[in-house]
């Protein structure tokens, strides 16, 4: 980690991810894409073989393994970036760790597979625990909260306690409020606005707003036009990352590594010592 933040580059090995589905389904293309993100400054490369976009269908274990294993093998020894596996299946996580992954990004926060916590704990891997309302197929069906920030904080606090109880080191946990995962536009904005309220949990906060639909909807509305397509949402991605960084987030999951990193570096240089006091205890330094 440098300048108080880490950038996680997205490597989707899927045919149906909302932004880049099918572009990197070929293992060689995925490996080259990952290496390009590393050259652009990605601290972490997040390899995933199952889409979690709204409405996505589950992927069988063997199919997910077939998608990610060649990519993980192709990256072995070719980059200094950390390798992350974006999965909710313990067997996929175990295979990825054996291939060199040191981060498990589980959008179900260790709920989907009862073996996942043990896999993470035994490996001493970092784990990202994310809030999601329901599952990808149902999460955007009229999501409701009395107070979205309070609900997300309580959920993440419970999942953190569960992970620690199962042997995962608290210092190896990253928490993600799950922007876009069972949230309306208003919920997403409220989470970003009050993100600093999650710092009380004492873990690094990850934010993943990259190219998400609420950015396109807001920008389109500002132009009195239709929502912007995925490839025109970079400005919104950077704006939300900057806001989240100022409020204490320290890990940023993005498709476009170079511009995101440049923007965050500028913010870090501008804020100076003040942002250092916002980094929660437990943030990894290597």
Which domains occur in the chain, in start order? 6-274 (3.20.20.20)
Quick one: pLDDT at residue 256? 97
d(CA 186, CA 191): 9
Active site residue 212: yes
What SS3 class is residue 48?
strand
What SS3 class is residue 279?
coil
CA dihedral angle for residue 135, residue 136, residue 140, residue 144, rounded to 10 degrees: 20
Nearest to 73, CA basis, from 102, 101, 94, 42: 101
The active-site residue out of 212, 233, 247, 261 is: 212
Quick one: pLDDT at residue 132? 92
Quick one: pLDDT at residue 17? 54
The active-site residue out of 6, 172, 253, 261 is: 253
Quick one: pLDDT at residue 257? 97
| Residue at token pair 């959008």 | 107
Those residues with Cβ within 8 angstroms of residue 80's Cβ, 6 or more apart along the chain or in another chain: 38
Those residues with Cβ within 8 angstroms of residue 87's Cβ, 6 or more apart along the chain or in another chain: 48, 49, 50, 64, 68, 93, 96, 104, 105, 106
**Total-model pTM:** 0.90
Nearest to 153, CA basis, from 209, 191, 107: 191
Alpha helix positions (H), the chain: 27-39, 61-75, 90-98, 116-123, 148-165, 185-193, 213-222, 234-246, 257-271, 273-276
Q: CB neighbours (10 Å) of residue 63?
A: 12
User: Tens digit of pLDDT per residue, the chain (286 long)?
Assistant: 446 899 999 999 987 554 554 576 789 999 999 999 999 999 999 999 998 767 667 899 999 999 999 999 999 999 999 999 999 999 999 999 999 999 999 999 999 999 999 999 999 999 999 999 876 655 566 678 999 999 999 999 999 999 999 999 999 999 999 999 999 999 999 999 999 999 999 999 999 999 999 999 999 999 999 999 999 999 999 999 999 999 999 999 999 999 999 999 999 999 874 444 444 444 443 3
Quick one: pLDDT at residue 280? 45
* pLDDT, tens only, 146-205: 999 999 999 999 999 999 999 999 999 999 999 999 999 999 999 999 999 999 999 999
What SS3 class is residue 69?
helix
């Amino acid at each position: 980690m440098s300048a108080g933040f880490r950038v996680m580059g997205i490597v989707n090995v899927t045919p149906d991810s909302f932004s880049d589905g099918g572009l990197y389904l070929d293992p060689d293309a995925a490996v080259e894409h990952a290496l390009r993100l590393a050259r652009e400054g990605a601290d972490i490369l997040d390899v995933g073989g199952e889409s979690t976009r709204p409405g996505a269908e589950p992927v069988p274990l063997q199919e997910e393994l077939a998608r990610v294993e060649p990519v993980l093998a192709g990256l072995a020894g070719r980059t200094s970036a950390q390798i992350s596996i974006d999965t909710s299946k313990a067997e996929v996580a175990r295979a990825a760790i054996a291939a060199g992954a040191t981060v498990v990004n589980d959008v179900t926060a260790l709920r989907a597979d009862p073996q996942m916590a043990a896999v993470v704990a035994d490996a001493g891997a970092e784990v990202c625990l994310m809030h999601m309302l329901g599952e990808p197929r149902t999460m955007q069906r009229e999501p409701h909260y009395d107070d979205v920030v309070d609900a997300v904080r309580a959920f993440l606090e419970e999942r953190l306690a569960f992970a620690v109880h199962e042997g995962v080191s608290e210092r190896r946990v990253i928490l993600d409020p799950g922007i876009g995962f069972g949230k309306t536009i208003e919920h997403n904005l409220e989470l970003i606005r009050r993100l600093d309220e999650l710092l009380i949990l004492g873990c690094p906060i990850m934010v993943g707003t990259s190219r998400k639909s609420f950015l396109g909807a807001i920008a389109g509305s500002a132009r009195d036009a239709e929502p912007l397509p995925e490839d025109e949402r970079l400005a919104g991605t950077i704006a939300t990352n900057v806001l989240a960084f100022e409020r204490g987030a320290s890990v940023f999951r993005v498709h476009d590594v170079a511009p995101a990193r440049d923007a965050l570096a500028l913010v870090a240089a501008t804020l100076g010592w003040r942002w250092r006091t916002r980094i929660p205890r437990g943030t990894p330094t290597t």
